[in-house]
Structure 1
Amino acid sequence: MPNADLTAIKERVVRHGAFVHDVIDEMGGVVVGQTRMIERLLIGLLCNGHVLLEGVPGLAKTLTVRMLAQCIGTSFQRIQFTPDLLPADVLGTLVYNQQTGRFTVEKGPIFANVILADEINRSPAKVQSALLESMQEHQVTIGDQTFPLDDPFLVLATQNPIEQQGTYPLPEAQMDRFMMKVQVPYPSREQELEIMRRMARTNTAPAVSEVATPEQVIRVRQVVNELYMDAQVEQYIVDLVLATRTPAAYGTERLARLIEHGASPRASINLNLAARGHALLRRRAYVTPDDVRAVVPEVLAHRIVRTYEAEAEGVTATALVQDILDTVEVP
């Protein structure tokens, strides 16, 4: 690509993407030690992809999602998933009006810009499917009417990895609908001390300022599409995904007995988009292999189905992805 074109893209990145760092700074003033989670949520927002957060309770997942909605001036709804939740509780339903003798539509909490699906694995499959259909189609059908969802529309789901009693784990086909699955770690000792100092108040009510608008989010998505990606980087993305399906072809014969099913073509699409989003966060007009490598664990790990042998040996999907990263040649 000519340097003049890259310069023009760089100018658009700086002009339209400046608010992204304002959001990071604003949220970082409240949420301590979760910069990676904040950046991954922003990548999902900028690339029109949904994110699954996995971590034990108390790691500020809900707080972070709510703060994100406040920072970009969008509507926010938190849906607590429970075993007795019904699809109508999420999507909405038809309500009969005795006075008029007609049915009217009562819209559910899904009609918001940012949705927090809290503990999504606590609801049965029919509720999960109703939500994931909305994620894929960006529309909801109630009765014989179809309603488009607002733009931007972002679903951020959480699940608890340690308490599995009474849960309904998401099937692999449904996990594939999430652009990224982000592991939320415990804070460090210094971060824990800072959290305690900030939050151990009886009148604590953390809040952030609105530093962006939904229109800016929609505008910067076009800039994400314009970022330059060299053909070698595209080939690298495809090689990483294919290495999950045919490990032996990429010199990782050991993984062939550990991977039951590799990532779908949706992984290639999402890896491309996530790498673009990562490049924009770094204020670049082009995508590098390092952008790809930075987001590979969150994009690929939840799409790999391990064999029983891998589970018996305690080999995680993240470890398998790291083996692939270490083996596939970087352009």
Structure 2
Amino acid sequence: MPDVGRMAQAVLDSVGTVVVGKQDALELVLAGILAGGHVLLEDLPGLGKTLTARSFAQALGLDFRRLQFTPDLLPADVTGSFLYDQSKADFTFRAGPVFTNLLLADEINRTPPKTQAALLEAMQEKQVSVEGVTYRLDAPFHVLATANPIEYEGTYPLPEAQLDRFLLRVSFGYPDREQEWDILRRRISRQREETELEPVVDAATLLAMQAALETVVVEDSIGRYIVELTAATRENASVLVGASPRGSLALLLLARAKAVLAGRDYVIPEDVKGVAVPALAHRITLRPEMWLRRVDPSFVVEEVLASTPAPASGALPTYAAGF
């Protein structure tokens, strides 16, 4: 486990040389990848979302494709399609950009729901069905999608079912003045626009790191704490629809990843608290009157965190004791 933590930290350090001053957000993105999930990067334009995805692909040694979502994009442009091959007098399948290790779905909310839905099967089942034929996607497979949270003209908001497929939602925010000057300084010294990172690990090593997360110990009281947090989102007065059990699973997986990033092989309550907002806020639907009051779902998760007592137990997990 310490080896996994060291390799993960090396990946973060590498990406941090390009994406400046966003250590916490980068750690969340890497936690999502280590947990085997997909990440929604929701923030204003120009804050490094695309650069983050490209940098992680380079540092992790993954095959990378970028797909710009537009209003006229068709499902076949995502998954691929059958084309007639005159030399063989038959139809052959031409794979779409989804056949990669890390897909950047840029501005995913700019394409119609039918095309957005083309990603659903790939994200959940790690496979694509075209004309009744199913094609498996090679592991690892991750989607990093970007969305602009304030520009709604000509956009199609992601439905709850698709939002739920993202393990977590991450925002970067504006850099402070020193960080912004650091960005300019690095650009001046680089003397070119593009950034290139040497691979720190490769796809096979990433799969091994992901498998190692399954051995991270989650004590029973921590597991129940996760369930209590998720259940509390359903009972909050501001919430119309709370987080599903998939939210509990997201908390479990991300808390394990946070523990590994901290060099531990066991989860503590702080790991759960650190991922609660990015894991649960996008799974909550507020009551209509809350929109008028400009209540944000993240406020609800923070309320739940403040009102749910955290455990303080050193007992062994029941599954570790052989139950």
- Pairwise CA RMSD: 1.1
AA in 1 matched with 2:257: G
Q: In the TM superposition, what is the alpha-carbon distance from 1:171 to its structure 2 partner?
A: 0.9
TM-score where L is the length of structure 1: 0.91
1:198 corresponds to: 186
Give per-residue Cα distances to partners, 1:125-158, cap 9 Å, x unaligned.
Answer: 0111011221001011222322111111000000
Equivalent residue for 1:94, pick from 64, 73, 82 = 82
Structure 1 residue 261 corresponds to structure 2 residue 260 = no
Greater alpha carbon shift after TM alignment, 212-221 vs 152-161: 212-221
Preserved contact between residue 4 and residue 260 of structure 2 (Cα < 8 Å)? no
Whether 2:131 is the aligned partner of 1:143: answer yes
Report whether the alignment pairs 1:239 with 2:219: no
Could you say which residue in structure 2 is the equivalent of 1:63?
Answer: 51
Task: Verify the 8 A CA contact 2:67 2:105 in the aligned structure 1.
Answer: yes
Out of 15-24 and 102-111, give the one that drifted further. Answer: 15-24
Q: What is the aligned partner in structure 2 of residue 222 from structure 1?
A: 211
Question: Residues 121 and 168 of structure 1 are in contact (CA less than 8 Å); yes or no, is this contact kept in structure 2?
Answer: yes
Report what 1:178 is aligned to: 166
Name 1:328's counterpart in structure 2: 308
Counterpart amino acid of 2:6?
Answer: A
Deviations 1:57-94 (A, max 9, x none): 11111111111111111100000000000000010000
User: Does the 8 Å CA contact 1:93/1:142 hold for their aligned counterparts?
Assistant: yes
User: In the TM superposition, what whole-angstrom CA distance separates every residue of 1:28-67 from its partner, at most 9, and x where no partner exists?
Assistant: 1111011122111211111111000011111111111111
Secondary structure of the 2:169 match is strand
How far apart, CA to CA, are the structure 1 residues paired with 2:171 and 2:296?
13
Distance in 2, matches of 1:144 and 1:175, equals 26
1:205-264 CA-to-partner distances (Å, cap 9, x unmatched) read 2111111011111111121111111111111100000101123xxxxxxxx1x1101000
SS at match of 1:320: helix
Which structure 1 residue ranges, 4+ long, deviate > 3 Å from structure 2?
Answer: none
Q: Tell me the percent identity.
A: 46
Rounded to whole Å, the distance in 1 between the matches of 2:279 and 2:52 is 20
SS of the residue aligned with 1:228?
coil
- Per the normalisation by structure 2, the TM-score is 0.94
Q: What is the identity, as a one-letter code, of the residue corresponding to 2:157?
A: P
Gaps in structure 2 of 5+ consecutive residues = 312-323
* CA offsets 1:265-301 (integer angstroms, 9 cap, x no match): 1001111000000100000011000000000000010
The reply on whether 1:291 has 2:277 as its aligned counterpart is no
| Contact 1:46/1:217, CA 8 A, preserved across alignment | yes
Question: Distance between the aligned counterparts of 1:144 and 1:229, measured in 2?
Answer: 41
Report how far residue 202 of structure 1 moved. Answer: 5.6
| Aligned match for 2:69, one of 81, 92, 99 | 81
User: Partners in 2 of 1:156 and 1:184 — Cα distance?
Assistant: 14
- Structure 1 residue matching 2:51: 3-state secondary structure: helix
